[in-house]
Amino acid sequence: MTAFTSAGSAATAPAAGLLDAVSPSTRVGTAIAFAVATVALDRLPLLAAALAIAVVLAALARLPAASTARRLAGMDAFMLAVLAFLPFTVPGTPLFAVAGLSASAEGLRQAVAIVLTANTIVLAVLALVGTLEPVALGRALAALKVPEKVVHLLLFTVRYIAVLKDEYGRMVLAMRARGFRPRGNRHTWNSFGWLFGMLLVRSFERSERIHAAMKCRGFSGRFYLVEAEIASPADLPFAAGFGALMVLLLVAKVVW
């Protein structure tokens, strides 16, 4: 939740370093292309090469090492179960045995490939896109022909996440002041239900006021993106160089 501040900017964005020279839509476009290409790679040495590219991007973007590492390590619990099962369910050369079940080298390889792919893409996206201001992301998506309504929904949502985070903080503080300590029991879950319900009510009322205020200022249901995105001279070389690397990796996969 730290990523959004009341000013509507991402706190994760320190200084994007050299990547700042590249326009947001080129960064978003290359991040998507990189994700698609990496998912297609599937061979460990090639995935390692893709990871190296992502690490270089992260260095160029000057991502903070500690908090980035924490983000990479995070994975939902159900995925851990899937990964832990893989060595035992993929047939192949036995590697070791646990409780009579033998783990295969092929299965382990597949689990490693998944972890590498997922983290490589997350790292590249955090470097290329995570360092953008959310507003710049919205403009980039508009330039990439994402429907206007989705872009506006995204921009307004970013704005209100910051506002509601503060509101949520005030409500939790009020609950704590009255002795509420979250524990794993029904009372806690009920209280969170009421808390979210009340947050919805207050936000809904807030949104009515916003709507009225916008109407007052002549809002007719159409928005204009104030600043169109400006192409940068670094875009073409960056996209071309990046594209060449991707093609190289994909060719290596095919001929291997």
Partner 1 sequence: MAHIPDGVLSAPVLIGAAAATAVGVAIALKRLDSDRIPQTAVLTAVFFVASLVHIPIGPTSVHPLLSGLMGLVLGWAAVPAVLVGLVLQAAFFGFGGITVLGVNTFNIALPALVIAAVIGPLLQTAVNPTRVALLGALAGAAGVVLTAVLVCLSLGFSAQEYRPALTIVLASYAPLAAVEAVLTAAAVSLLRRVKPELLSVGEARHA
Give how far Cα 94 sits from Cα of 81, 83, 104, 149, Å.
Answer: 20, 17, 4, 53
Among positions 17, 55, 144, 156, the unique one binding partner 1 when judged by CB under 8 A: 156
| From candidates 53, 86, 142, 143, binder to partner 1 by CB under 8 A | 86
Distance CA 41, CA 242 (A): 16
Among positions 12-41, residues that touch partner 1 (CB under 8 A) are 12, 31-32, 35-36, 38-39
> Which 172-231 positions form the footprint of partner 1 (CB under 8 A)?
182-184, 186, 188-194, 196-201, 203-204, 206-208, 210-211, 214, 219-223
Asked if residue 44 binds partner 1 (CB under 8 A), the reply is no
Q: Is 48 an interacting residue with respect to partner 1 (CB under 8 A)? A: no
By CB under 8 A, tell whether 255 contacts partner 1. Answer: no
* CB nearer to partner 1: pick between 138 and 238: 138
Cα-based angle 124, 149, 144 (whole degrees, multiple of 5): 40
- What residues contact 95, with CB distance under 8 A and at least 6 apart? 87, 102, 103, 104, 105, 108
Judged by CB under 8 A, the stretch of 15-23, 118-126, 232-240, 246-254 that binds partner 1 is: 118-126
Binding to partner 1 by residue 113, rule CB under 8 A?
yes
Residue span binding partner 1 (CB under 8 A) among the ranges 17-25, 115-123, 234-242, 243-251: 115-123
The phi and psi torsions of 130 (rounded to 5 degrees) equal -65, -20
Binding of partner 1 by 93 (CB under 8 A): no
Q: Quote the distance between the C-alpha of residue 84 and its chain's center.
A: 24
Assign 33 to helix, strand or coil: helix
Q: How far apart are the first and last CA of the chain?
A: 43
Which token pair is 201?
Answer: 């009510």
Which residues are paired to 101 by β-bridges?
98
Number of residues that bind partner 1 (CB under 8 A): 92
- Nearest distance from C-beta of residue 51 to partner 1, angstroms: 12
**Which residue in the set 18, 21, 55, 90 belongs to the binding site for partner 1 (CB under 8 A)?**
90
